[in-house]
Amino acid sequence: MKMRVGFIGLGVMGKPMAKRILEAGYPLTVWNRTRWKMEELVKLGAQGAESPKDVAEKSDVVITMVTDSPDVEEVVLGPSGVIEGAREGLILIDMSTISPEVTRRIAKKLAEKGVKMLDAPVRGGDIGAKQGTLSIMVGGPKDVFEKCLPIFKVLGKRITYMGPNGMGQTTKLCNQVICALNIQAVCEGLMLGAKAGLDLEKLLKVVTAGAAGSWMLSNLGPKMLKRDFKPGFKISHQLKDLRLALSFASQLRLPLPGTALVQQMLRAVEAEGLGDKGTQAAIVAMEKLAGRTLQG
């Protein structure tokens, strides 16, 4: 018999993920803070819950996909949270991107009630969530990971066990640091070309083919040229992830100078009222420094 799954947080990522789980035949209970967002899934056959506690009572595995560390703490450990409806043997999988330290704290609290936790943040965006092609980076007890693998396979293609609790989140933060610096590199290269009078379409074509090529260059470079700032992955989410990465690095007494610089560039973009735009809007900070746009 398939495990009963509970899903908390039906946002841009959570809703299509929950849908896939339902379509794969798992009995599903859902909860979302803004209740109307549950309607679509309830129409498809999911059970709507009254609270995270209610979700826990009706599930064998509860997945959380909310925004930040305090949000996961609230839905798991807060009033009417998962922990209040938990019993020995329940599994919690947190797929949000949050702090590795907070993850370990939550896992410890849950363990006192006999609940096992996995941290399983993802990359691949809303398209990956819809198509079931997410990359999932997992931390927590290995036997629990193996037990949950069939569920992960419904959601993702590259599923990697990284070690004990917190290691999934740590992997995701490393990923975000590399992505952020890549975006900055694309902005600076394109602006140099613009200022020097190059044909930017040609520049993109030439550099994409060589050692400067990257996912960011291929996917965000053309959008920067067209000033297409539709998200994708939002500036506000990238800022959250860099805050988590920098705070985690400072606990490890590790300087991340490039990451700190990109964080400040993205802050400037946010200050322009563009926090809800995609990360390609990072070019706007570069344009402010250059005193011109890419286009002239």
Catalytic residues: 172
Quick one: 66 or 286, whose CB is closer to ligand NAP?
Answer: 66
Nearest of 89, 85, 76 to residue 9 by alpha carbon: 76
State in angstroms the smallest separation of the CB of 84 from ligand NAP: 15
Q: Is 11 in the site for ligand NAP (CB under 6 A)?
A: yes
Q: Is 74 in the site for ligand NAP (CB under 6 A)?
A: yes
Q: Is 13 in the site for ligand NAP (CB under 6 A)?
A: yes
Nearest of 1, 24, 27, 22 to residue 10 by alpha carbon: 22
Binding segment toward ligand NAP, per CB under 6 A, in 31-39, 185-193, 206-214, 267-275:
31-39
Q: Is 157 in the site for ligand NAP (CB under 6 A)?
A: no
Q: Is 237 in the site for ligand NAP (CB under 6 A)?
A: yes
Among 32, 263, 279, 280, which residue interacts with ligand NAP (rule: CB under 6 A)? Answer: 32
The CA distance from 6 to 142, in Å, is: 21
Binding segment toward ligand NAP, per CB under 6 A, in 65-73, 183-191, 222-230, 276-284:
65-73
Among 3, 60, 67, 109, which residue interacts with ligand NAP (rule: CB under 6 A)? Answer: 67
Q: Is 51 in the site for ligand NAP (CB under 6 A)?
A: no
Q: How many residues are recorded in the chain?
A: 296
Q: Is 85 in the site for ligand NAP (CB under 6 A)?
A: no
Restricting to residues 240-259, which ones interact with ligand NAP according to CB under 6 A? none
**Binding residues for ligand NAP, total number by CB under 6 A:** 24
Restricting to residues 115-144, which ones interact with ligand NAP according to CB under 6 A? 122-123, 125-126
Question: Tokens 């959380």 identify what position?
Answer: 64
Contacts of 194 (CB under 8 A, 6+ apart): 200, 290, 292, 293, 294, 295, 296
Comparing every residue's Cβ against ligand NAP, the nearest one is 11
Among 33, 130, 147, 267, which residue interacts with ligand NAP (rule: CB under 6 A)? Answer: 33
Q: Is 10 in the site for ligand NAP (CB under 6 A)?
A: yes
Binding segment toward ligand NAP, per CB under 6 A, in 12-20, 155-163, 197-205, 257-265:
12-20
Contacts with ligand NAP, residue ranges (CB under 6 A): 9-14, 32-34, 37, 65-67, 71, 74-75, 96-97, 122-123, 125-126, 233, 237
